[in-house]
């Protein structure tokens, strides 16, 4: 039989059949019965899925398309199918007697006169008996005999193990257990100091303290955030053929890391990602626009509409899979084939997101007390680092002068920032006079800072300092005299003189001060380099009348027209000082960017919003085949939000977010605790973590899943609370050793008779190599580093970097994530490309992985660094080098045989080759 599909449960049928010239029961129903119109809208055919009864029409099928449009037979699906030339869709189906002309005309007349028929005895509502849609109910804890088990998790696990005629494994060795929790929760090996501390805690039966310290570390947030960013398809380019960069998308990545580290309640985390603009957390809405975005538009209206529908499909699909564990996108063209999701539901969700657009916008400044405190701490840190950097510059100048036999000039001026250091002066006025600019334009300074000997900026207006000038450029709100000392950086808050090439600005302090440093810049944000003062003098005065020179431009290198090489001074420093200088410069720039964000706000790639228009259900998903208008709503199976077609844009998202984050929603808590289980044990209780619907798998431990979901909600949606329960369980602390009898029953360790071993992911492998070699930069946040070189044209091209240095030695979560491209080495280890949601990483084993980990420049480089580290810590004794290496690589002492074999290897080859082999060993690359 051919498939005839419809949805009639959303139509209101008139009960009366007295009016109208065509009678349904007397004339229409006999035709449908006689001609065998049947609905095969489900995989399993049911007797009530027929069009030869009122109940069958009311129940309908799976296309989402109504059988008829009352009063308009020309727009009615049944008329189209009756008259179709396509044998695959014509009704009645092939093999049945065709309708006569009179019967076709009768059905047409019945529709045109209102298609009236009796209401079915029972109105059929959408429903399901699938387990994931049932309310979460807290089950009783199983009572199992035996001493094994530390908490409720263990009771559920032990019950299942025993039912399979298995037994749990013994507790893992302490050193392995410490290494395991660090690899799982931090993606890094523990340091020797932490191992020693935790061994004492374990000896005192205090594993809880180990867990608490691990969860309190900022490394935890970086680790679990990587998993979440996979789930929400985060990347920092647009994808498609142009694949342009999103230089401010990192704000969302940093928000996710902060949220996990702060243990933000998960219900709040959901709401902020869907509607954070309603509560001042706009950065959370980066979730909505984290996916690919095609910026190449078409003059063809069909393509344009399809492109826009694809954008909203990405938002709907990601919201469904990430938070609800449902494949809502399968209902775009018809009712969902497996789950109770109607096509109308899909377009109701589309109406929720129809006002969301891609792009950058300014984030609101955070002025609460916590933000003010953070700003003060950052400013103190920046001052301290500036002092240290200035000291290195002085040392460099002295070394250079000694080598050349005469005094050398300072580096040329830079638009991004200049520092003037001088002997202590007691004064009250400072005047900066520009005599020439690089382009002849009116001079511009974004901020003039004058520091006293305590490192305080005494030029700030908020500290009572006042400003005067030779004249100010008129007509521009962003260029005012008051900006010269308002504490805010960048061109949008700067002063410009009204005279081409020249001008002066003067700061008068609130009281006399002892000063020894001045900082100034054209644009510290680095967007502008014109109007730069290249010939200037800075003077001071106690009385405001007599002026004395402090510094000038004559002792600087001539300005060459290019951006000054700020790191040129490093060339003359010893290696250790030069490395310290590079780190200081990188970190100082990062901190200054943070300070600028606190003071001025910052741009970020987050959702932009506009007033939404009407949303129509689309026949077969075709944007040119509009059907009825739908109101914004959630899935009908989950209730209704009761919103109108003209609901406020923000309210649409906010109310949907609240419904998802509601404790009555049966899916939300189950989905997240299953993800946490997967994060800890490698595989979820449901091993299709983003599909808890009928097409997903059943849970191995359904009662445990519901207990965890209940506990999660009762404990205020605390992720750290749930992780602590898992990590404190005997289930987690089991040995990972295989047992022949158990493997025959459960080779995948799904029933947790042992801790399931697994290989580290790409990011954890790279981070661990850097950590052990002592080269890992643990600075958090800010713009990411690149592992690919960029050709910035209309169509952006990316090329893998052959070599990397300290700038690329941060944790891999801070790598600038480029869609459709992978880095040269670790991309081979199943890294997602950001084009689609990845709820779980695959773990392939390929020859290219082995080659990358053995012969790449990165591995050879880090093996050399590790070799230097062993020489420094263990001296020239090969045996001591080997012993030290085992402690650093594996967190344990070397065995006698290992020492003998490794010592012979080092003598036959080299210490660097030995380090390279250790980086490739299973004990280093796997979590056991």
CB contact set of 587 (below 8 Å; sequence gap of 6+): 385, 779
Q: Is the pLDDT of residue 43 over 60?
A: no
Cα(371)–Cα(377) distance, integer angstroms? 10
Q: Which of 67-71, 94-98, 789-793 has the highest mean pLDDT?
A: 789-793
Q: Check residues 298 and 87 and name the one with the higher pLDDT.
A: 298
Residue 856: pLDDT over 80? yes
pTM of the model: 0.78
Confidence category of residue 81, pLDDT binned at 50, 70, 90:
confident
Average pLDDT over residues 10-29: 52
Question: 3-class DSSP state for residue 240?
Answer: coil
What is residue 114's predicted lDDT score, i.e. its pLDDT?
80
- Supply the pLDDT for residue 563: 42
What is the model's pLDDT at position 57? 59
User: 609-643 burial by CB neighbour count: b if 16+ within 10 A, else e?
Assistant: eeebeebbbbbebebeeebeebbbbbbbbbeebeb
Tell me whether residue 490 is exposed, middle or buried, using C-beta atoms within 10 angstroms of its C-beta: 0 to 12, 13 to 18, 19 or more: buried
Of the pLDDT bands very low, low, confident and very high (cuts 50, 70, 90), residue 68 is confident
Report the C-alpha gap between 158 and 645 in whole angstroms.
52
Q: Per DSSP, which regions of 122-173 are E strands?
A: none
Both structure tokens of 698: 């059943």
pLDDT attached to residue 145: 85
274 half-sphere exposure, CB direction, 13 A CA radius: 29
- pLDDT, tens digit, 9 for 90 and up, residues 440-482: 899 999 999 999 999 899 999 999 999 999 999 998 999 999 9
What DSSP line would sit under 27-90, residue for residue?
Answer: IIHHHHHHTT-B---SSS--TT-BSSSHHHHHH--SS---S--TT-GGG-HHHHHHT-S-TTT-
| pLDDT at 638 > cutoff 70 | yes
Q: What pLDDT does 472 receive?
A: 94
Q: Which residue has the higher pLDDT, 777 or 567?
A: 777
CB atoms within 10 A of CB 666: 20
Residue 699, token pair as written in the block: 């849970």
Catalogue the E-assigned strands of 326-477: 356-357, 360-362, 418-437, 444-445, 447-452, 466-469
Residues 798-808: what's their mean pLDDT?
89
Query: How deeply is 107 buried, as exposed, middle or buried, from its count of CB atoms within 10 A (0-12, 13-18, 19+)?
Result: buried
Q: Which of 24-28, 673-677, 702-706, 775-779 has the lowest mean pLDDT?
A: 24-28
Residue appearing with tokens 């009311």: 58
Confidence of residue 14 (pLDDT cuts 50, 70, 90): very low
Closest CA to 592 of 525, 673, 511: 525
- In this predicted model, what pLDDT tens digit does every residue of 556-599 receive, in sequence order? 888 875 444 566 777 788 878 888 888 888 888 888 878 877 77
Question: Going by C-beta distance under 8 Å and a sequence separation of 6 or more, which residues neighbour residue 277?
Answer: 285, 607, 609, 650
The 8-class DSSP code of residue 22 comes to: S
Domain boundaries of the chain, sorted by first residue: 4-128, 174-268+668-745, 301-361+609-660, 365-411+568-600, 415-564, 857-927
Confidence of residue 407 (pLDDT cuts 50, 70, 90): low
Per DSSP, the chain holds a count of helices (H) and strands (E) of 28, 18
Question: Which run of H or E residues covers position 157?
Answer: helix 152-163
367 has pLDDT over 80: no
Nearest-angstrom CA–CA distance, 612 and 610: 6
- Most confident by average pLDDT, 43-57, 386-400, 783-797: 783-797
pLDDT in tens, 192-242: 999 999 999 999 999 999 999 999 999 999 999 999 999 999 999 999 999
Q: What is the structure's pLDDT at 49?
A: 39
Residue 549 has pLDDT above 80, yes or no: yes
Is 353 a residue whose pLDDT tops 70? Answer: yes
Q: Please tell me the distance from the alpha carbon of residue 128 to that of residue 131, in angstroms, as a whole number.
A: 9
- pLDDT for 445: 97
In this predicted structure, what is the pLDDT of residue 566?
66
State residue 52's pLDDT score.
55
Residue 899 backbone class (left: φ over 0; alpha: ψ -120 to 50; beta: rest) = alpha
pLDDT score recorded for residue 93: 74
More confident residue, 401 or 314: 314
Query: What ranges make up the beta strands (E) of 438-502?
Result: 444-445, 447-452, 466-469, 495-496
Helix, strand and coil in the chain, % to nearest 5: 45, 15, 45
Report the distance separating Cα 178 and Cα 720, nearest Å: 18
pLDDT for the residue numbered 398: 79
Per residue in 165-181, pLDDT (tens digit) is 999 999 999 999 999 99
- Average pLDDT over every residue of 131-136: 97
Note the pLDDT tens digit of each residue in 288-319.
Answer: 999 999 999 888 999 999 999 999 999 999 99
Q: Quick one: pLDDT band at residue 115, thresholds 50, 70, 90?
A: confident
Amino acid 623: pLDDT = 93
Report how far residue 918's alpha carbon sits from residue 885's, in angstroms, rounded to the nearest whole number: 9
What is the pLDDT, as a whole number, of residue 33? 65
């Amino acid at each position: 039989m051919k498939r005839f599909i419809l949805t009639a449960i959303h139509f209101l049928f008139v009960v009366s059949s007295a009016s109208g010239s065509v009678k349904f029961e007397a004339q229409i129903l006999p035709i449908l019965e006689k001609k065998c119109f049947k609905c095969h809208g489900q995989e399993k055919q049911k007797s009530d899925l027929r069009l030869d009864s009122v109940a069958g029409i009311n129940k309908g099928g799976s296309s989402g398309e109504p059988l008829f449009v009352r009063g308009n037979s020309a727009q009615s699906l049944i008329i189209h199918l009756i008259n179709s030339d396509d044998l695959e869709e014509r009704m009645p189906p092939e093999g049945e007697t065709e309708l006569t002309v009179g019967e076709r005309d009768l059905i047409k007349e019945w529709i045109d006169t209102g298609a009236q028929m009796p209401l079915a005895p029972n109105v059929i509502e959408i429903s399901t008996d699938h387990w994931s849609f049932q309310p979460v109910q807290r089950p009783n804890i199983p009572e199992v005999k035996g001493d094994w088990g530390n908490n409720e998790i263990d009771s559920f696990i032990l019950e299942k193990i025993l039912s399979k005629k298995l037994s749990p494994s013994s507790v893992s060795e302490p050193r392995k257990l410490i290494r395991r929790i660090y690899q799982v929760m931090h993606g890094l090996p523990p340091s020797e100091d932490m191992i020693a501390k935790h061994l004492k805690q374990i000896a005192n039966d205090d594993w809880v303290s180990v867990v608490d310290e691990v969860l309190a570390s900022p490394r935890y947030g970086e680790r679990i955030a990587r998993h979440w960013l996979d789930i929400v398809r985060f990347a920092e380019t647009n994808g498609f053929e142009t694949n342009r960069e999103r230089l401010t998308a990192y704000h969302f990545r940093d928000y996710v890391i902060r949220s996990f580290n702060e243990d933000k309640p998960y219900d709040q985390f959901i709401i902020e990602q869907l509607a954070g603009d309603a509560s001042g957390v706009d950065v959370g809405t980066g979730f909505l626009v984290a996916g690919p975005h095609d910026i190449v538009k078409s003059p063809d209206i069909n393509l344009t509409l399809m492109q826009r529908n694809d954008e909203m499909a990405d938002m709907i699909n990601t919201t469904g899979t990430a938070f609800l564990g449902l494949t809502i996108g399968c209902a775009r063209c018809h009712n969902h084939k497996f789950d109770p999701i109607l096509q109308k539901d899909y377009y109701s969700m589309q109406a929720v997101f129809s006002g969301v657009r891609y792009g950058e916008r300014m984030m609101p400044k955070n002025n609460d007390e916590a933000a003010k405190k953070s700003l003060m701490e950052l400013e103190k840190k920046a001052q301290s680092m500036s002092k240290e950097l200035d000291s290195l510059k002085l040392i460099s100048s002295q070394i250079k002068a000694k080598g050349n036999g005469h005094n050398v000039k300072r580096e040329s001026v830079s638009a991004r920032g200049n520092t003037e250091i001088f002997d202590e002066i007691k004064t009250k006025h400072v005047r900066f006079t520009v005599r020439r600019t690089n382009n002849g334009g009116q001079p511009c300074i974004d901020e003039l800072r004058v520091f006293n000997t305590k490192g305080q900026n005494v030029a700030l207006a908020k500290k009572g300092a006042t400003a005067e000038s030779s004249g100010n450029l008129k007509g521009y709100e962003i260029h005012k005299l008051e900006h010269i000392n308002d504490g805010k950086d960048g061109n949008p808050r700067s002063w410009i003189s009204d005279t081409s090439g020249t001008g002066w600005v003067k700061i008068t302090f609130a009281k006399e001060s002892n000063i020894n440093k001045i900082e100034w810049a054209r644009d510290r944000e680095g967007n502008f380099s014109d109007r730069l003062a290249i010939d200037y003098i800075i003077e001071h005065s106690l009385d405001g009348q007599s002026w004395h020179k402090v510094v000038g431009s004559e002792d600087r290198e001539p300005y060459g027209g290019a951006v000054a090489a700020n790191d040129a001074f490093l060339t003359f420093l010893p290696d250790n000082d030069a490395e310290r200088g590079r780190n200081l410069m990188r970190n100082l720039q990062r901190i200054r960017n943070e300070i600028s964000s606190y003071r001025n706000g910052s741009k970020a790639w987050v959702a932009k919003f506009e007033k939404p228009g009407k949303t129509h259900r689309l026949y077969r998903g075709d944007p040119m085949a509009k059907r009825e208008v739908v109101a914004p709503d959630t899935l009908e199976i989950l209730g209704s939000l009761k919103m109108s077609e003209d609901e406020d844009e923000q309210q649409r998202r906010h109310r949907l977010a609240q419904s998802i984050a509601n404790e009555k929603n049966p899916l939300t808590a189950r989905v997240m605790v299953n993800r946490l289980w997967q994060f800890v044990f490698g595989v979820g209780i449901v091993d299709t973590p983003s599909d808890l619907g009928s097409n997903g798998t059943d849970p191995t431990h359904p009662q445990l899943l519901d207990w965890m979901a209940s506990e999660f909600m009762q404990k205020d949606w605390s992720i750290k609370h749930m992780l602590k329960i898992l990590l404190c369980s005997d289930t987690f602390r089991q040995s990972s050793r295989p047992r022949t009898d158990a493997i025959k029953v459960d080779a995948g360790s799904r029933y947790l008779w042992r801790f399931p071993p697994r290989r580290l992911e790409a990011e954890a492998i790279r981070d661990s190599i850097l950590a052990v070699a002592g080269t890992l930069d643990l600075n958090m946040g800010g713009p990411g580093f690149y592992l690919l070189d960029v050709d910035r044209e209309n169509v952006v091209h990316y090329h893998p970097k052959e070599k990397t240095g300290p700038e690329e030695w941060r944790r891999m979560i801070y790598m600038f994530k480029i869609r459709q491209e992978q880095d040269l080495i670790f991309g081979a280890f199943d890294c997602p490309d950001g084009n689609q949601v990845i709820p779980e990483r695959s773990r392939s084993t390929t020859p290219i992985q082995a080659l990358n980990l053995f012969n790449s420049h990165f591995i050879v480089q880090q093996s050399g660094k590790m070799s230097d580290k062993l020489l420094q810590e263990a001296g020239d004794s090969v045996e001591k080098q080997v012993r030290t290496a085992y402690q650093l690589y594996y967190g344990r002492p070397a065995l006698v045989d290992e020492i003998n074999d490794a010592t012979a290897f080092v003598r036959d080859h080299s210490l660097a080759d030995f380090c390279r082999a250790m980086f490739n060993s299973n004990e280093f690359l796997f979590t056991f």
